[in-house]
Structure 1
Amino acid sequence: MLKKILLASALLAAHLACTALDVNQATVAELDSIKGIGPSLSRQILAQRDQGKFKDWADFLARVPGVKAKTAARFSDQGLTVDGTAYPAAPAKP
């Protein structure tokens, strides 16, 4: 029985890790599940979102202090989206 519970928990965690999380709809707990977003940053994100939804990643970066392109890319790699869109990948170096 314990093995079944652990398996179900592992499958749920894997599913949640692969599921996109939109910053315009996420709860504090969901934002906190993104590595690098803690309680303080979650509150900042929600405070800015209360002023109006984020239109795109550029809007998110402009309104959330301390989040720059590299950080946004890490958040996006973990499934965070803005209005359903992942952070644009950096162009490949020749």
Structure 2
Amino acid sequence: MGPWFSCKALVLGLLLMGAAQASDRIDINTADASTLQQGLANVGPHKAEAIVAYRRQHGHFLRVEDLTRVKGIGTATVERNRQRMTTGIMKSPAAEPPRRALPASVPRR
């Protein structure tokens, strides 16, 4: 097993680690207070409950930056946890540019 095998193993490990981290993100729109508290830095029980209460009263967060609307959550907390969070909201298909319709074929005579 030469150096190429070790290099390939390292690259594969990094790829798998990145995929695992992406799937381990906390959805701030569905997570309960316990999950928020355990998974996010500088978020204790009071802030976690405040996030859940805000979400119940105002609806889902569209962007992770919207978390700063919760009392006690500042931009520093959002930035520190940005890679750990997701809103779980995908871009709507309407955001894509519309496709041009092909002209109808004209029957030959």
Range of TM-score over shorter length: 0.5 to 0.7
Amino acid in the other structure paired with 2:30:
Q
- TM-score normalised by L of structure 2: 0.53
Between 1 and 2, higher relative CO (CA 8 Å, sep ≥ 6) is seen in: 1
Q: Provide, for residues 15-63 of structure 1, a one-character-per-residue CA deviation record: whole Å limited to 9, x for no partner.
A: xx8211110011122101122111100110000010211122343212x
Q: CA RMSD in A?
A: 2.3
Structure 1: 5+ residue runs without aligned partners?
Answer: 1-13, 86-94
- TM-score normalised by L of structure 1: 0.60
Residue 32 (structure 1) aligned to one of 37, 45, 53: 37
2:68 aligned with 1:61: yes
Matching residue of 1:47? 53
Amino acid in the other structure paired with 1:72:
V
Alpha-carbon shift at residue 69 of structure 1 (Å):
1.5
Structure of larger gyration radius: 2
SS of equivalent residue, structure 1 residue 46: helix
CA contact (8 A) 2:41 2:81 kept: yes
Distance 1:83 1:73 in 2: 18
Structure 2: 5+ residue runs without aligned partners?
Answer: 1-16, 91-109
Matching residue of 1:20? 25
* Identity fraction in percent: 28
